[in-house]
Structures are given as structure tokens and as C-alpha cells.
Structure 1
Amino acid sequence: MTMADQTQKPSDSQTVLGRDRFVAFAFASAHLLLETDNEGRIVFAAGARCGLTDRRAEDLVGCSLFDLLPPGEHTFFRMLLTRLIDSGKLDPTHVFLKTVAGQPFAMLMGGCRLPNYADRCFLGFSIAARVSGRTVGRCLSDLKSFAESLESRLCAAGATERGQRLSLLDIVGLADRDNAPEMRNSLEAYLLSVSTDGDAAVRLNDERYAVLHRDDLTREEIILDIGRLLARHGADELRDALHVWQIPVQGGEMPMSDVARALSYTLHKFAAEEPGAFGIADINEAVVDMLHNTVGRVAQVRRILEQRDFHLAFQPIVSLATGKLHHVEALIRVGDCGSPAEFIAFAERIGLICDLDLLVCQAALDVLKQAEDQGRAVPDIAINLSAVSLASPLIIEQLQALLRPHQGLTRKLLVEVTETATVNDFQGLNRVLGHLRKLGLRICLDDVGSGTTSFMSLNELRVDYAKLDGRIVQGALTNGRDLTILRSIVEIARHLGTDLVAEQIETEEQLRYLRKLGVRYGQGYLFGKPSPVLPGFDLAAPSRPSRRTGERVSWE
């Protein structure tokens, strides 16, 4: 044998090392290795038994993979094996197996095929470190969970340089089919089988879906696969009603967190669109434009927050009995973004409302500090904090950091709690409000009587003040229903010992009637419009007494 032959041909020891190396890699990345035939019958097993058998992993030989699954997972698993057989590779995918005792548990399963073994599937199972976004027998997660997971999914894909696409599907008429549940089960199992990690698909409504997947899965392939699935269920006519749009997911200069926010907003909007709004099957412009517009709006909001490109306007709130200024509400005004309400709603939808609320709080503190430095006496300021912001586990720590340099000014701040329609945990919100009181803040519940704040919020939340929704105030003198609601709120507030603030008072007649009902404070154009100038107090005016523990606040 020549020297060249020795360098070209590996030695026996090298061959053994190469083989053992791959065995070592396999066990380093998986707890259990299974080899099956194309029908899922196990022909080889090695590694940890993972609770699937009483004794050794080798005892699984001869069993069917489907015997190791909860019944609700069978359709999904068949889809996975089909994809593995067709493509030769299966990325790690969340699956559920069941123990000998019948208890389900989550694992990650990856798979591959070898060219010389066309009738074999090689599978590796490892115990999942991350909880799957779905439950056993339920293919798809809900939109809220899916949206919350987008950022981590996109960041993980970016770190591994895996391209991603988001596909949106609309099958017009699916909900009206007699066999819709059976067909839906197969459809959702398919979407799950092609999704990132095996759990990145979501049902948006009865006919619309979304799935995040690798970028090599084309729109045409999805249409072909689902078309075959529909045909198998006797719904061949729905193939023409299937529309698919694809959105490439790219970060570029935009942070992945903001890309995730834009995608989440697009999904919510797509789910709410009227049927037929995206009825053109052969182009993607409508959906892609929606995303591009959303990306632009997210970037605009981000720029406004980073540059603090907004200002505050202050609207007076007065004592209805005396007409004296009581405090002011700080209202955000943003340059060319249209309605402040629309800007705030969009910030809330894309998950930036907490950032905005904290910046408004900082801006109000800056105004108070400037007035203090100039020796001016100014009224207390009410700032809005969304219930969404207050649900953040970091909100108390963040507010403490803001208030710490301005401890002497904290007593001049009120918090108006907005958007309480989103609250499911009143006990938790009350704990947060209790922390705010310990920081020296007083609490007002906003928009009581509107569709966004129910009587339950008024009854369940411990607040100092409650603000009557302006539409109730406006309609009370001409609409019997509004008047009944107004009187009911006044009676409940009196029983709870909560002072009321009426919004949108514009006439003397409204003022007189609200006084008669016992409403204590008011806000509206009758007393003044929002102004960028913070009004001053008469220095001779009586100051607010110090508050003792358990004592009601009186500012007059």
C-alpha cells in the first residue's frame, strides 16, 4: 500500500471513531432513539425508557408508535410521519406521548431518513424544556398565546439563520360544512405538522388560520396539500374557496420584538376583517400591504417613544359645588399621528402601551419639577395608566424607579386606570393598586358606565375616585336609559364611599343636574379645554391636608 493509499483510505480505527462519534452525538441530543418502519412499528429502541415502558427501552421493539400516543395525537402524528417520509427530514417538533400509567407528557421529536433505508424512519426524542403552546388533543393554540410566543420564535429562528414565513389561510364556506369538525381536525393537524416547532399554528376564526413555518414551504405547496386533504373529506369544491397569503419574516433594521408586534397586530386585524376582504387568491398585496403598513406604524410609535416626540395638554377638573380648580388631567398629544385615542389604542394593541404610560408619567413629573423649581404652586395631575400596563409584573418596580428622584412630588399625582374591560383578575389588580397607594398615588377608575368599564369594575376595584363616562353625562337629560345608568352609578358610588368625576360637561343645565345628584367633581368644555399650559394655583388657597392612614382624602 502506498503512502497515497494510506492517506486516502481511513483506517479501521477511524471508521470506528466516525461511527461512535455519530452515536455519541445522537445520545447527546436525545434521550431516546427509535427506528420504525413506514407504518410506525418500532424495530429498534435505545436510550432512556422515558416512562414509556416498565423496564428497558428495548422492550418497545415490536410496539407501534401510536400505542405510545394519547388518542387525540394520532392524526397529527400521522401527518408528521408523512412529512418525514416525503422530505427525509423532520426538525425538532413538540409532541405528546403517554407513560405506562397513561399520563401525557411533552417531548421534542426530530427525525431523518437514510437513502439506503427507504422503509425506515430514524427518530430522536428528548424531554421538552419549553412547555408547548398547545394541549393534548388540541392542535392549535389560541391567538393570544400564539402572538405572545412570536418574538421568542423569531429570535430563535434568527439565531439559527432559519428563514421563516407566516402563511395566512382563508377557506370560505368551511364553517358551513356538515363534516366541518372532522375536516377541521385533519386541516389543523396538517398546519401543525408544517409549523415551526410543531406548535406554531393558530385558528383565527371558523374559516381563517395562520401558521409560522420554514421559508422553503411555498404557497403553492400548501394549496396543493390542503386541496388534497379537502378532496379526501369530500369537499373538493372548497379547493376554489381556499386562499393563501405568505409574508416573509425578516428583521432587517427593525428589532425582532417590533416585527413580532407588527405580525401580531396583522393577525388580529386579519381575523376581524369581513369575509371577502381578501378574496383574491393569486396575489398577496392586501395582506403584505397590511403588514408593511403595520411595520411602518410600529416604527413610528417606537420613534415617538424613543425621542419623546409628544407633549401633554392639561384639562381642568373642578369642584361642582364651588367651581374651584381641583386637579388637571394630563392628555397626550402626538404631532401628525391623528387622533390620540387611535394612537393609544394602537400602542396598546402592539404591546407598547406600558412604555407610553411610563413616559407620560415621567413627562408629568418633569412638569411638576419645573414648576417647583420656579416656585409656582400648581394643581395635582392625573395620568392615565392602562390596565394592560398595570398587569405587567415589572410595573411597580418601573414606577418606583421613576418616582424615587421625585418623592416630594408623588403626592401630587393621581392614576386614572383605563381599559379595565381587559381585566380578568380583579384581585391581582387590587394588589397592584395597593402598591401604588403605598407609593403615595391616588386612584381613579376611568370611563365608568361605558362599554369598557362595567359596574363590576366599580364594585370590585378599591379606588378613591370614579370618572363617569362622558356619553352617559351627555345623554342623561334626554335619554331615559342613560339617566337610569347615571343614577345607578351615583347610588353605588355613594354606597362605596367613592367620589365621582363627571366628564364632558358642556352646559349649565348638565352642571345643575349633576350637582343635584351629588356628583362632586366635573370636567368638560364648560370649565376649560385641554391646554399645553399647566394652570397655576392661587398661593393663598388652602393647601390639601396631610393624609392619615385610613382617612378619606379631601382637597378642598
Structure 2
Amino acid sequence: MSTGKNPGRHPAIPATLRHDRFVAFAFASAHLLLETDDDGRIAFAAGARCGLTDRTTEDLVGQSLFDLLPAEEHAFIRMLLARLIEGGKLDLTHVVMRTVAGQRSAMMMGGCRLPNHPNRCFLGFTIASGLTERMAGRCLPELKIFVESLERRLSVAGVAEHDQRLSLLAVEGLAGMPASDAIRGDVEAYLLSVSSNGDAAVRLNDERYAVLHNADLTREEIASDIGRLLVRHGADDLCDALHVWQLPVQGGDMPLSDVARALSYTLQTFAAGRPGALGIADVNSAVVDMLQSTIGRVGQVRRILEQRDFHLAYQPIVNLVTGKLHHVEALMRVGDSASPAEFIAFAERVGLICDLDLLVLQTALDALKAAHDQKRAIPDIAINLSAVTLNSPLMVEQLQTVLRPYGIIARKLLIEVTETAAVHDFRGLNQTLDRLRRMGLRVCLDDVGSGTTSFLSLNELRVDYAKLDGRIVRGALTNSRDRAILHSIVEIARHINIELIAEQVETDAQLHHLRQLGVRYGQGYLFGKPSASLSNLDQGMPSRPARRTGKQVSWE
């Protein structure tokens, strides 16, 4: 028997409900709704005032949208409206508004056009917190800020099923143009208008930019659009100096975090490199090849870390007065290479240095535990940790997690802090070093006098030891400048009660000079080469140390 109902169809929806439903959806996703004409004149306003008026929201009607913006944001918003008028849809975009109190307010703006209402722009504004900081009308000022958000941006794009591309832009000669500031302002407004969320463009230097955007925007379109901007400013000559490269950002099986690292490294190289080095003559292939090569290298580093495909070699550090072994330094070795310097530098530049440091630390702890379990004498071990790692907010917690299972054995570690040239927050680093000491660890400042570790680091950081750079140690006997630097470091260390360790001690003459200066500890081929086993280390200085002459030795 028929019930008169068709289960395959929805019941009729009253027109009022359909209207109210769309209104509800609009206010569920936006704080403020504005309807404007194509010139930005507001015809309708509803919702929260969002600080844009000190009266009612309806009082915004009749004003221009541009009255609610800082002047620097005008060119950017005009380009957004032009894209909305042309395409009919505007994805959520980071815009900067100006409140009635004169403050800048970050908002997300989305928009659409309706077929039955030509010459109308329907805009929704949401007050946003936690957005990447950018100046009104300007690209992000620092690559670091852009890179930090890159993985998140790629993840969001993946969830939203939006393919992304990264375009690199160079306008060679722009910096020398009389109207460079005005040209740059329009170029940045354009890049922001096409970027993901309106804040995914970064100024790399005075002539280079990078922008993350939807994949349907081609590099030819970008070049054409910016070319028109240059012509508008009378800078026709720059059109021939305009170059755009475009990179896909899909990583296949590679984690998005590693894709972001490879893109970051490519951007750093692009920002620092000479134009010719990046294949301007062969427009796109050189930069694409660079990215693909970097992705391969990041994958290789990741595999080495996951498989622990490295080993440690231990070099003795002796007391120069007694000749007794004081501790050893754990030196990382990858494959057959004697020096891991390039591998470590790359890991640091692509953001994998923290993972590497923690694995090296754990490997050294495993060696200590094995020696302890076999009832063998256990030397103290120095481990290199970069200042980048130690400045990581989660580092101490991760370090404690690694150390905890080893108990009192972990107190045999001495932490050598490397790459302090990158440190800008000595106060924060000192807090980390103090926490390490409370955990029973001692701390050494590496490579003092090398140029990368300055006298400022020696003076500012609270450490137990400082390691003299080997170049200074070697040069002090023949070079007055190196000798003056060495003597100054010794004097400073004496006043602030820090013990010194000399690197690359190779001759009796160097040993005698260091003793005269009061340097207490030394490391170098005079006392022993790095050994793969803790049990093979000499327990002191050889009775007849040999001089090293001729071929220069490669050192860590």
C-alpha cells in the first residue's frame, strides 16, 4: 500500500528556511558581512563591528571599503577585488584592517559573486588570531618566518585538496631603479594577492621573492602580470630582467615535513646565489633540478638517521700537566668519509640537526652502557650539540627522555656547544645550559677563536670548558695575530674561571707553548687518533711524541 511519500526525495523546503539557512551559514563562518560595488563602496553591512566603527554596523553603509584599510593595503585589496570580479570567488585571504582606534587588525576575508547580482561583491570577514605577522601591503620580511609556516601551509593545502606550487621571482636591476620602492610595492601587493591565504609571499632580498600559490597559476601568467606592472611604472627595461621559476611541492612518499625542508634549502640557495648560478639562461630547469637534488639529499639524511647508518670514533683529550686521559670526544663518521662536516652542515640547514644530535647522543650513551656492563673503565665522553638544537624549546625535555634510562651513566657526558654564531638569545641558551648542569652534565664551548665562535660567546655563556680552535693553536707559533688571539682567550678564560682545551696539538713545540700559557687540556694527533672503540684509547701522552710535518691533517 502506497503511503504517498517518495523516500528518494527530500521534502520541500520553505523559501524562508532556505534564506535563513544561508544567513546562518554565513554568520557561522564570518563575524562581519559586507556587500560592495565593484569600486568597494559598501551597500550592505551586518554582523559584528569588528572595531571598524564606534557606532552600529549599519553605519558602515555608504563608506568605502578602502576607508577601513591602512593606505599600504589599498593596492593589495584592489588586486583582490579584481581577481574576485574576474573569477567569481575569493578564497580566505589574510588582510590587514584599520580600527577606529587606529590599530591594525588581522582578518581573514573571503568573497563571492552571484550571477543574479552583477556588479556586487559579497565579502565575509573573520577576526583572526595567530596569523603569520606581515606588514600591511607587504610580503613577509624574513625567510625564516615563511619557512616556519611552510609545512603547515602544505598540510592545509593537502587536506583541502589544493595542489600548490612555489614560484621564485627575480627582477635583476630593480634595486638600482629610481622608482624601486613604488615598483616593489606593487609587485608585493600582486604576489600577496595570488598567494595562499594572502600571506604566503616572502621578500628574499631587494630583487628576489618567493610565493606559494595554487597550482593553476602558471609562471607565464605571473611573468605577464608583473611585466604589465613594470610597464605601468615606465620600467620597460626591467621586463627583460624578469625571471620566474616554478616548483611543484608534492613529495610523493616523502613526508611533508621533509618536502618543506627541501623547499627551504632551495629558497636559501636562491636568495644567496648569483643569478648565473641558478640558470637564468635556461629559465626553469636549474632551479627544478636544485629542488629535486635537495629532496634526494633530505631523503638520504632521513634514511641514515632512521637506520643509524653512522658510527662514532673517539679521540682522547689529555691533561697537559699530568699526561693522563681526561675524557674523549665522540666524532661522528658517515660511510667512508673521514669528515662529516658537509653532512652535518646540510642537516642543520634543512632542520634535521636536532634529530641527528639526539641520535649521536644516544649512540654514545649506548657505548658507555656497554662498557659499564662489561665492567670496563668508562671514560667521560664529549658530545657535540649545536646551539640550534639547544635553542629548540623542546630540546631539554627530549634530552631528559633520552638520558633517563641510562641513570648515573649519563653523568659521564660533557656537552660541546657548537655553531654559536647563530645564537642571538644568549639568555635563553644560558637557561638551557643551566638546566643541563642541574642534570649533572658539564658544558664546553667549541671552536673559540675560529671566527664562528666569538669572544662574546665566551663572555656571555656559562660553561665549564672552552675549546681553542685548532687553527689558532697551530698558527700561534708563527703568526703574531693568532698568537695575540690565543693569549687574549687564555687571559679571559682565567678571569672567568673556565678551563681551556686546545685542539689539533701536533708538535712538542705547540705542547710546550700551551703549557707555558697555562692551558690545562689538549687534543690532537700528538696524543692519539680517533678510535672506533673506547677500549683502544691511550691513557696518556706517548713517551716520545712524534712531530708532524709535511702533509696537512684534516681535522674536525
Instruction: Give 1:86 shift.
Output: 2.1
| Residue of structure 2 in register with 1:464 after alignment | 464
| Residue of structure 2 in register with 1:195 after alignment | 195
| Residue of structure 1 in register with 2:28 after alignment | 28
Q: Check the 8 A contact 2:75/2:137 in 1, yes or no.
A: no
Provide the C-alpha distance between the structure 2 equivalents of 1:148 and 1:128, rounded to a whole number of angstroms: 19
The answer on 1:342 being equivalent to 2:342 is: yes
| Residue of structure 2 in register with 1:232 after alignment | 232
| Residue of structure 2 in register with 1:50 after alignment | 50
Provide the C-alpha distance between the structure 1 equivalents of 2:338 and 2:290, rounded to a whole number of angstroms: 19
CA 1:23–1:513 in structure 2 vs 1: closer, same or farther (change >3 Å)?
same
CA 1:338–1:107 in structure 2 vs 1: closer, same or farther (change >3 Å)?
farther
Provide the C-alpha distance between the structure 2 equivalents of 1:152 and 1:12, rounded to a whole number of angstroms: 42
Deviations 1:396-417 (A, max 9, x none): 1111111111122122110000
Provide the C-alpha distance between the structure 2 equivalents of 1:389 and 1:230, rounded to a whole number of angstroms: 44
Please show how residues 81-480 of structure 1 align to structure 2 within 5 Å.
81-280=81-280, 283-335=283-335, 339-480=339-480
Deviations 1:49-77 (A, max 9, x none): 11111222111000011110122212221
Provide the C-alpha distance between the structure 2 equivalents of 1:328 and 1:250, rounded to a whole number of angstroms: 44
Provide the C-alpha distance between the structure 1 equivalents of 2:162 and 2:297, rounded to a whole number of angstroms: 26
Q: Check the 8 A contact 1:385/1:416 in 2, yes or no.
A: yes
Letter in 2 for 1:56: T
Instruction: Give 1:331 shift.
Output: 0.6
Letter in 2 for 1:94: H
Instruction: Give 1:336 shift.
Output: 5.6
CA 1:402–1:12 in structure 2 vs 1: closer, same or farther (change >3 Å)?
closer
Deviations 1:437-482 (A, max 9, x none): 1111000000001111000100011110000011111111111111
Deviations 1:249-280 (A, max 9, x none): 11321110000011001100111111222343
Instruction: Give 1:135 shift.
Output: 2.8
Instruction: Give 1:7 shift.
Output: 12
Deviations 1:58-101 (A, max 9, x none): 11000011110122212221221122122221110111111111
Letter in 2 for 1:265: Y
**SS of corresponding position for 2:280:** coil
Deviations 1:84-133 (A, max 9, x none): 12222111011111111111111000111223333111110011143233
| Residue of structure 2 in register with 1:503 after alignment | 503
Provide the C-alpha distance between the structure 2 equivalents of 1:234 and 1:9, rounded to a whole number of angstroms: 62
Letter in 2 for 1:44: F
Deviations 1:486-527 (A, max 9, x none): 110000000011110011111111111111111111111111
Q: Check the 8 A contact 1:377/1:537 in 2, yes or no.
A: no
Deviations 1:378-427 (A, max 9, x none): 31100011100001111111111111111221221100000111111111
Provide the C-alpha distance between the structure 1 equivalents of 2:530 and 2:213, rounded to a whole number of angstroms: 49
**SS of corresponding position for 2:97:** strand
Q: Check the 8 A contact 2:243/2:283 in 1, yes or no.
A: no
Q: Check the 8 A contact 1:379/1:537 in 2, yes or no.
A: no
Structure 1 unmatched runs, 5+: 540-556
**SS of corresponding position for 2:295:** helix
| Residue of structure 2 in register with 1:554 after alignment | none
State the identity as a percent: 72
Provide the C-alpha distance between the structure 1 equivalents of 2:490 and 2:247, rounded to a whole number of angstroms: 51
Letter in 1 for 2:94: H
**SS of corresponding position for 2:290:** helix
Provide the C-alpha distance between the structure 2 equivalents of 1:388 and 1:28, rounded to a whole number of angstroms: 42
Instruction: Give 1:432 shift.
Output: 0.5
**SS of corresponding position for 2:275:** coil
Q: Check the 8 A contact 2:141/2:204 in 1, yes or no.
A: no
Q: Check the 8 A contact 2:139/2:203 in 1, yes or no.
A: no
Letter in 1 for 2:477: L
Provide the C-alpha distance between the structure 2 equivalents of 1:185 and 1:77, rounded to a whole number of angstroms: 13
**SS of corresponding position for 2:141:** coil
CA 1:282–1:447 in structure 2 vs 1: closer, same or farther (change >3 Å)?
closer
Q: Check the 8 A contact 1:133/1:146 in 2, yes or no.
A: no
| Residue of structure 2 in register with 1:545 after alignment | none
**SS of corresponding position for 2:112:** strand
The answer on 1:486 being equivalent to 2:486 is: yes
Provide the C-alpha distance between the structure 2 equivalents of 1:384 and 1:21, rounded to a whole number of angstroms: 61
Provide the C-alpha distance between the structure 2 equivalents of 1:330 and 1:142, rounded to a whole number of angstroms: 36
Instruction: Give 1:9 shift.
Output: 12
Instruction: Give 1:14 shift.
Output: 3.5
Output the aligned Cα RMSD: 2.1
| Residue of structure 1 in register with 2:546 after alignment | none
CA 1:61–1:230 in structure 2 vs 1: closer, same or farther (change >3 Å)?
same
Deviations 1:126-147 (A, max 9, x none): 1114323313354323100001
**SS of corresponding position for 1:277:** helix
Range 189-198 or range 14-23, more displaced:
14-23
Task: Give the TM-score, by structure 1 length.
Answer: 0.93
Q: Check the 8 A contact 2:31/2:48 in 1, yes or no.
A: yes
Provide the C-alpha distance between the structure 2 equivalents of 1:179 and 1:268, rounded to a whole number of angstroms: 27
| Residue of structure 2 in register with 1:542 after alignment | none
